[in-house]
């Protein structure tokens, strides 16, 4: 499946590379548009010394890690949220008879390097933050693992949200609350939100394990909820649970799918 995804993605990339000027402009445009979220955080720090009890470098650490994870997941499987559109148009039936997994086809559809432009501002912020936090080599390794684990967790949420569209064909916008909405939420310290909401995104939809819980350990910060320290290391468990749920939902959706007949 992975090899098939890379082959399809490379095909789309070669097509986009035929117009290098346009491609470069689109990458830069994606970088600028993503920077608007960062501008909001910068404006907040011009009016207050800390954000949710975190310094500018600590908040930047959270932002950079979250946005890199989300962008990697969006590049890999973000196109799966077009499932409902394909089912309505009848084009999903054609995907099912091709010798490549329908999920891989959806994930690689219209792949564009433009999305990688969103990595530029988030990577710049993370690179700016790390030297100001006096992190140890082990902390740096944990940071890389946190980003990769966050990408896997977000990827599971993308597929899980797409699977809902087998039942709710017009659920495209609603499911964005868990993907794009999750990305927006995790770029800020969880200490800004109410405790009930933080518990929900820790034990129900585990967005807190994208960056918040691991960062509490890396930054040496106490958990506002008073959860035991081992919870900070449950990110891989949360990612596996979400991915298993996504696989189960996808297979259930396929099993009950009925062709449009077109």
- Residue 205 in any domain: the answer is yes
Q: In the predicted model, what is the mean pLDDT of residues 16-20? A: 66
pLDDT in tens, 56-101: 899 999 999 999 999 999 988 988 888 888 888 888 888 888 888 8
Classify residue 241: in a domain, yes or no: yes
Q: For residue 189, which of 157, 219, 226, 160 has the smallest C-alpha distance?
A: 219
Quick one: pLDDT at residue 130?
93
- Note whether 27 and 113 are within 8 A (CB): yes
Q: Is residue 61 part of a domain?
A: yes
Looking at 78-92, 131-145, 159-173, which range is the least confident one? 159-173
Q: Is the residue at 261 inside a domain?
A: no
- The pTM score is 0.89
Q: Give the domain extent around 197.
A: 2-256
Q: Of 40-49, 117-126, 128-137, 144-153, which one has max mean pLDDT?
A: 144-153
Is residue 262 assigned to a domain? no
Radius of gyration of the chain (CA): 19
Sign of CA dihedral 160, 165, 171, 172: positive
Within a domain: 158: yes
Q: How confident is the model at residue 117 (pLDDT cuts 50, 70, 90)?
A: confident
Residue 50: pLDDT band (50, 70, 90) is confident
Q: What is the mean pLDDT of residues 217-234?
A: 92
Higher pLDDT, 216 or 79: 216
Domain count, the chain: 1
Asked if residue 183 lies in contact with residue 154, where contact means CB atoms within 8 angstroms, the answer is yes
pLDDT the model gives residue 94: 87
Report the C-alpha gap between 193 and 191 in whole angstroms: 5
């Amino acid at each position: 499946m992975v090899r098939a995804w890379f082959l399809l993605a490379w095909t789309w990339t070669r097509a986009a590379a035929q117009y290098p000027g346009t491609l470069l402009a689109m990458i830069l445009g994606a970088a600028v548009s993503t920077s608007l979220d960062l501008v909001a955080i910068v404006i907040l720090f011009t009016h207050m010394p800390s954000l949710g009890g975190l310094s500018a470098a600590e908040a930047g650490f959270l932002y950079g890690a979250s946005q890199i994870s989300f962008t990697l997941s969006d590049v890999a499987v973000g196109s799966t949220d077009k499932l409902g559109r394909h089912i309505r148009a009848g084009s999903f039936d054609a995907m099912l008879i091709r010798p490549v997994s329908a999920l891989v086809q959806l994930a690689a559809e219209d792949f564009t390097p433009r999305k990688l432009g969103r990595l530029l501002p988030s990577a710049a912020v993370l690179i700016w933050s790390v030297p100001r936090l006096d992190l140890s080599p082990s902390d740096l390794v944990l940071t890389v693992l946190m980003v990769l684990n966050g990408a896997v967790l977000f990827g599971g949420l993308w597929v899980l949200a797409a699977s809902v569209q087998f039942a709710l064909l017009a659920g495209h916008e609603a499911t964005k609350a868990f993907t794009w909405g999750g990305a927006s939420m995790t770029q800020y310290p969880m200490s800004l939100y109410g405790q009930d909401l933080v518990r929900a995104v820790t034990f129900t939809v585990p967005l807190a394990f994208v960056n918040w819980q691991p960062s509490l350990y890396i930054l040496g910060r106490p958990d506002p909820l008073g959860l035991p320290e081992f919870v900070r290391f449950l990110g891989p468990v949360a990612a596996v649970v979400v991915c298993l749920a996504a696989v189960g939902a996808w297979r259930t959706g396929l099993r009950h799918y009925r062709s449009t007949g077109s």
